[in-house]
């Protein structure tokens, strides 16, 4: 879709200004956006002017993009859908935003999400819930609920999300679009408001795999400001040798979900320690789910409990990584379901372990630092860390022809 838009913009069939204006006009629908960025029209106008002069711009210049509200945007409110950051306007841009601006993509606005990334349904925003455009009675999935709904509902051609345990891929599956989580480190986390630092990655919600690949090319790359960022492999060769998840089921995977929640809560309790009321709102303004995770995190890191919980979870994680290395030594890709069962209805899931179960498959990729992509059919494909480009290639194949 982006390629088509790009051609039309270059041929001056449509203007970036009109394109951006149309999206902005629809932005109030579905509870997808928390902030509409009217200044995007200026960016779009400038792209049109430069194209009129015959300048050769980045192929994606003028294509508007929606950004999840946990990615820092200079002078534009960034709230993580939390009352704590209700009035927070960052003084700097995330690295990915700097890259998008340099390529000339107007930032349409900031999308709704589960508060601080904690939630799998999109019902944990402190402000208002997001609707699933595919089925109004169902949840859109979370935590990148707004980004997924916006792309699925035609309110943005493409969107950035973030993925800590499945937060791009689950809503992509629920809304029927593509959700891509790059390898850990492939995209700079500088400017991504941290939930769980060793699990978070900025991801992409899009209509097609090719679109995800185009945006990935803009935002990926090692960043000196992010010491965990890596260079990914340029190698796009694969046989393909596929393994299905049912065939590799292992008792280890049963330990992975509790390990994921222990590690992510521990890191969340640490990352949210700064909301003490001095600079911005205090932790008195957190929602219940956030509070729950922080308490869990404090518990598993406490001196009496760290051995039993956090350290054990770290060992499980290390074992899981070794297991995935073994598997990928003998295959290119692993195919698996995204969600364990039906898309939940609105208000169906209570918070807590019932909801946590939804991440059962998706969080494996986060724990093991792997790239993973979800297709509109609901299937997820994973690859070895660093093989993002090969994964995107194969995913394009599967999108067109099935597995």
Partner 1 sequence: MVYEAVIGLEVHAELNTKTKMYCACKNAFGGEINTRICPVCTGLPGTLPQLNREALDKAILAGRAMNCTIATKTRQYRKHYRYPDLPKGYQISQLSIPLCMDGHFDYFCGDTLKRAYIRQIHIEEDAGKLIHNGESTYVDYNRCGVPLIEIVTDPCFHSSDEAYSFLEAVRTMLLDIGISDCRMEEGSLRADVNVSLRKAGESKLSARVEMKNLATFNGARRAIDFEIARQRELLDRGETVVPITMRWDDEAGKSIFMRDKESAADYRFMPEPDIPPLKIECSSTPLPESEAERRCRLLRGLPSPQAKEIAKNLKLCEYFDSVSHIGEKVCANFLLGTVANLTNETGIPVWESYLTANKFCAIITKINSGEINTDGGKILMEKLFTADIGVEETIDKLNLKVCRDRSDYLSVVHFVLVNNEKAVNDYKAGKGNAIGFLVGQCMRSMSRGADANLFREILEEVLECL
How far apart are CB 39 and partner 1 at their closest, in Å? 20
Out of 310, 328, 333, 361, name the contact with partner 1 by CB under 8 A: 310
Q: Judged by CB under 8 A, which stretch of 145-153, 172-180, 297-305, 323-331 contacts partner 1?
A: 297-305
Neighbours of 226 (CB within 10 A): 16
Neighbours of 299 (CB within 10 A): 17
In angstroms, rounded to a whole number, what is the distance separating the alpha carbons of residues 361 and 198? 18
Closest CA to 367 of 182, 248, 246, 198: 198
Site string for partner 1, 84-123 (x = CB under 8 A): -x--x-xxx-x-----------------------------
Beta strands in 225-355 (DSSP E): 242-244, 333-337
**Residue 7 a catalytic site member:** no
Phi, psi of 81 (to 5 degrees): 55, 40
Q: Judged by CB under 8 A, which stretch of 107-115, 131-139, 299-307, 348-356 contacts partner 1?
A: 299-307
How far apart are CB 168 and partner 1 at their closest, in Å? 18
Nearer to partner 1, 90 or 287 (CB): 90
Q: Judged by CB under 8 A, which stretch of 132-140, 193-201, 329-337, 360-368 contacts partner 1?
A: 193-201
Q: Judged by CB under 8 A, which stretch of 150-158, 162-170, 262-270, 386-394 contacts partner 1?
A: 262-270
DSSP assigned state of 192: B
Task: Indicate whether 350 belongs to the interface with partner 1 (CB under 8 A).
Answer: no
**Residue 143 a catalytic site member:** yes
In angstroms, rounded to a whole number, what is the distance separating the alpha carbons of residues 375 and 31? 23
**Residue 167 a catalytic site member:** yes
In angstroms, rounded to a whole number, what is the distance separating the alpha carbons of residues 173 and 343? 9
Q: Judged by CB under 8 A, which stretch of 17-25, 39-47, 189-197, 252-260 contacts partner 1?
A: 189-197
Q: Which residues pair with 138 in a beta bridge?
A: 345
DSSP assigned state of 8: H
Out of 56, 251, 303, 329, name the contact with partner 1 by CB under 8 A: 303
Out of 9, 30, 81, 193, name the contact with partner 1 by CB under 8 A: 193
Is there a contact between 196 and 272 (Cβ–Cβ < 8 Å)? no
What's the per-residue H, E or C state across 348-394? Answer: CCCCCHHHHHHHCCHHHHHHCCCCEEECCCCEEEEECCCCHHHHHHH
Task: Indicate whether 226 belongs to the interface with partner 1 (CB under 8 A).
Answer: yes
Out of 3, 210, 270, 393, name the contact with partner 1 by CB under 8 A: 270
How far apart are CB 171 and partner 1 at their closest, in Å? 21
How far apart are CB 272 and partner 1 at their closest, in Å? 8
Out of 7, 12, 222, 225, name the contact with partner 1 by CB under 8 A: 225
Nearer to partner 1, 311 or 348 (CB): 311
Alpha helices (runs of H) in 74-231, residue ranges in sequence order:
95-103, 145-152, 169-175, 209-219
Look at residue 47 and give its three-state secondary structure.
helix
Q: Which residues pair with 161 in a beta bridge?
A: 203
In angstroms, rounded to a whole number, what is the distance separating the alpha carbons of residues 264 and 165? 9
**What residue ranges bind partner 1 (CB under 8 A)?**
71-72, 78, 80, 85, 88, 90-92, 94, 189-194, 196-198, 224-228, 266-267, 269-270, 273-276, 278-279, 298, 301-303, 306, 310
- Residues with active-site annotation: 68, 143, 167
């Amino acid at each position: 879709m982006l390629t088509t838009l790009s051609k039309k913009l270059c041929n001056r069939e449509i203007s970036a200004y009109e394109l951006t204006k149309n999206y902005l006009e629809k932005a109030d629908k579905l509870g997808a956006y928390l902030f509409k960025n009217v200044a995007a029209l200026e960016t779009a106008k400038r792209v049109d002017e430069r194209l009129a002069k015959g300048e050769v711009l980045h192929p994606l210049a003028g294509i508007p993009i929606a950004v999840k509200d946990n990615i820092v945007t200079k002078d534009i409110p960034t709230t993580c859908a939390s009352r704590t950051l209700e009035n927070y306007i960052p003084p700097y841009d995330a690295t990915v935003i700097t890259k998008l601006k340099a390529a000339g993509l107007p930032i349409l606005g900031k999308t709704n999400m589960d508060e601080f990334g904690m939630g799998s349904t999109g019902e944990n925003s402190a402000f208002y819930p997001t609707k699933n455009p595919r089925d109004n009675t169902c949840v859109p999935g979370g935590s990148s609920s707004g980004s997924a709904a916006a792309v699925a509902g035609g309110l943005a051609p493409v969107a950035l999300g973030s993925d800590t345990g499945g937060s791009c891929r689950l809503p992509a599956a629920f809304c029927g679009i593509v959700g891509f989580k790059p390898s850990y480190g492939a995209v700079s986390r500088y400017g991504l408001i941290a939930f769980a630092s060793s699990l978070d990655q900025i991801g992409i919600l899009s209509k097609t795999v090719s679109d995800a690949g185009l945006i990935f090319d803009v935002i990926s790359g090692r960043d000196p400001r992010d010491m965990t960022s890596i260079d990914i492999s340029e190698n796009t060769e694969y046989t393909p040798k596929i393994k299905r998840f049912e065939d590799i089921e292992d008792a280890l995977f049963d330990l992975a979900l509790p390990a994921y929640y222990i590690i992510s809560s521990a890191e969340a309790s640490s990352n949210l320690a700064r909301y003490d009321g001095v600079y911005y709102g205090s932790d008195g303004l957190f929602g219940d789910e956030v509070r729950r995770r922080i308490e869990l995190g404090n518990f598993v890191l406490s001196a009496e409990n760290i051995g039993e919980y956090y350290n054990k979870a770290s060992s499980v994680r290390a074992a899981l990584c070794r297991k995935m290395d073994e598997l990928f030594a003998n295959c290119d890709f692993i195919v698996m379901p995204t969600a364990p069962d039906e898309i939940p209805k609105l208000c169906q899931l209570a918070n807590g372990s019932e909801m946590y179960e939804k991440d059962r498959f998706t969080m494996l990729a986060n724990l093991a630092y792997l790239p993973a992509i979800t297709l509109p059919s609901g299937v997820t494909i994973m690859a070895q860390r660093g093989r993002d480009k090969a994964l995107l290639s194969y995913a394009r194949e599967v999108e067109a022809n099935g597995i």
